[in-house]
């Protein structure tokens, strides 16, 4: 089996270079080709000899994702990418433009096992975890594609909120984060990266031990166990009190504010009573609540709360001392919004 070279750290590349009889400085050249120039093949590494490139190609592989389909929103310019992986599996990623720069929403698994009832990503379950190189490749492929129009294009922020549960692919996600923040690569700041989780409590504690500066985004979506048990099966294993306690520890240990994601679903979790209960449970925590108008998924009959209901919910939270924002929905006309990413068929149909 060939070595997945894009998943190696610079130190590991130096060890590989030594094994291959290459000078140590070649490792940094290769690393920069992979992670700064976003090279897709060894042939692009023109400061290596043909013999050196051939040796690398013989023993190593560069895992890439090729653009199978790209949709551009007519509403806001958001771009959704359907990527084909080396083994023929499909994932989706999204590029969003904000005032502060470009954000890429990446997937961490092919599908998802969490079975949240309102989310399209989990409908067909999880086929497999993505390797660190495959998570990176989403950012790199989007970078290459957009540099065709703007050679200075740069991704400034990353959210691990695409297909999959990042903490269910914990080790590979940590390696991805190590590589994407490296100064010899794209050098994206840790504070510009958000890791989403639906509530795998033990992994939150594992993450705390790393003293991270990443933003932890918790998909809460309900103020209590009764509602959360119905829409998010993970809650039956780690309930809301266990999850919120882990979040309190996270904020105290890292001094980083938690972001609670809350998809507003009509007659499910959007009542005044829900808002008051949520405000009470979060009081005193370093956090903010991001209200998300729930997006339509054809396999379920959930309806989004109307704008007035969302605004009223927000007012109750703010009155309870909870900082609240209402997410601007991007890419809704191309199914690129929160909860709408999914695996695709071989024919590329969603």
Residue 40 lies in a domain: yes
Co-location of 166 and 266 in the same domain: yes
Say how far apart CA 110 and CA 124 lie, in whole Å. Answer: 10
Residue 53 lies in a domain: yes
Co-location of 22 and 100 in the same domain: no
Co-location of 262 and 321 in the same domain: yes
**Cα 220–Cα 242–Cα 290 angle in degrees, nearest 5:** 20
Co-location of 57 and 137 in the same domain: no
Co-location of 25 and 69 in the same domain: no
Residue 340 lies in a domain: no
Residue 28 exposure: Cα atoms within 13 Å on the Cβ side = 6
Residue 298 lies in a domain: yes
For residue 24, give the CATH number of its domain: 1.10.150.530
Co-location of 159 and 250 in the same domain: yes
pLDDT in tens, 75-120: 888 999 999 999 999 999 999 999 999 999 999 999 999 999 888 7
**Closest Cα partner for 139 from 65, 86, 212, 196?**
65
Q: What is the pLDDT of residue 120?
A: 78
Say if residues 214 and 44 touch (Cβ distance below 8 Å).
no
Co-location of 7 and 155 in the same domain: no
For residue 256, give its domain range. Answer: 65-334
Co-location of 307 and 180 in the same domain: yes
For residue 110, give the CATH number of its domain: 3.20.20.70
Co-location of 246 and 296 in the same domain: yes
Say if residues 279 and 273 touch (Cβ distance below 8 Å).
no
Q: What is the residue whose two structure tokens read 């009959």?
A: 301
Say how far apart CA 117 and CA 121 lie, in whole Å. Answer: 10
Tally of domains in the chain: 2
Residue 339 lies in a domain: no
Co-location of 37 and 69 in the same domain: no
**Closest Cα partner for 167 from 120, 124, 112, 242?**
112
Say if residues 111 and 121 touch (Cβ distance below 8 Å).
yes
Co-location of 172 and 214 in the same domain: yes
Q: What is the pTM of this model?
A: 0.92
Within 10 A of 83 (CB to CB), how many other CB atoms are there? 23
Say if residues 14 and 20 touch (Cβ distance below 8 Å).
no
Average pLDDT, the chain: 92
Question: Which residues are designated catalytic?
Answer: 92, 338
**At which of 61, 89, 107 does a domain end?**
61
Q: What is the pLDDT along the chain (350 residues), one digit of tens a residue?
A: 999 999 999 999 999 999 999 999 999 999 999 999 999 999 999 999 999 999 999 999 999 999 999 999 988 889 999 999 999 999 999 999 999 999 999 999 999 999 998 887 778 889 999 999 999 999 999 999 999 999 999 999 999 999 999 999 999 999 999 999 999 999 999 999 999 999 999 999 999 999 899 999 999 999 999 999 999 999 999 999 999 999 999 999 999 999 999 999 999 999 999 999 999 999 999 999 999 988 766 556 788 999 999 999 999 999 999 999 997 765 555 554 444 444 454 434 43
Residue 125 lies in a domain: yes
Co-location of 192 and 242 in the same domain: yes
């Amino acid at each position: 089996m060939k070595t997945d070279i894009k998943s190696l750290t610079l130190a590991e590349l130096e060890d590989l270079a030594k094994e291959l009889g290459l000078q140590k400085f070649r490792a940094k050249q290769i690393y920069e080709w992979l992670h700064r120039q976003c090279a897709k093949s060894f042939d692009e590494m023109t400061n290596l000899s043909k013999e050196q490139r051939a040796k690398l190609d013989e023993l190593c592989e560069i895992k890439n994702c090729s653009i199978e389909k790209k949709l551009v929103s007519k509403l806001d310019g958001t771009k959704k990418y359907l990527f084909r992986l080396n083994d023929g599996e499909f994932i989706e990623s999204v590029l969003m433009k904000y005032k502060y720069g470009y954000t890429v929403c990446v997937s961490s698994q092919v599908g998802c096992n969490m079975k949240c009832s309102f989310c399209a990503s989990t409908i067909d379950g999880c086929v497999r975890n993505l390797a660190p190189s495959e998570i990176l490749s989403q950012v790199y492929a989007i970078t290459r594609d957009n540099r065709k129009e703007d050679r200075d294009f740069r991704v400034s922020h990353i959210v691990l909120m695409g297909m999959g549960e990042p903490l269910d692919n914990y080790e590979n996600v940590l390696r991805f984060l190590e590589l994407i923040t490296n100064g010899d690569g794209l050098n994206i700041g840790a504070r510009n990266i958000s890791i989403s989780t639906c509530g795998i409590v033990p992994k939150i504690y594992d993450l705390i031990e790393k003293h991270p500066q990443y933003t932890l985004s918790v998909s809460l979506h309900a103020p209590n166990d009764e509602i959360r048990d119905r829409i998010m099966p993970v809650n039956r294993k780690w309930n809301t009190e266990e999850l919120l306690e882990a979040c309190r520890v996270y904020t105290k240990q890292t001094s980083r504010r938690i972001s609670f994601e809350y998809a507003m679903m009509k007659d499910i979790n959007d009542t005044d009573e829900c808002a008051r209960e949520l405000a009470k449970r979060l009081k005193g925590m370093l956090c903010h609540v991001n209200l998300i108008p729930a997006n339509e998924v054809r396999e379920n009959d959930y309806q989004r709360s109307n704008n007035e209901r969302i605004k009223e919910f927000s007012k109750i939270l703010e009155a309870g001392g909870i900082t609240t924002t209402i997410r601007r929905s991007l890419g809704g006309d191309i199914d690129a919004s929160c909860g709408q990413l999914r695996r695709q068929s071989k024919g590329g149909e969603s």
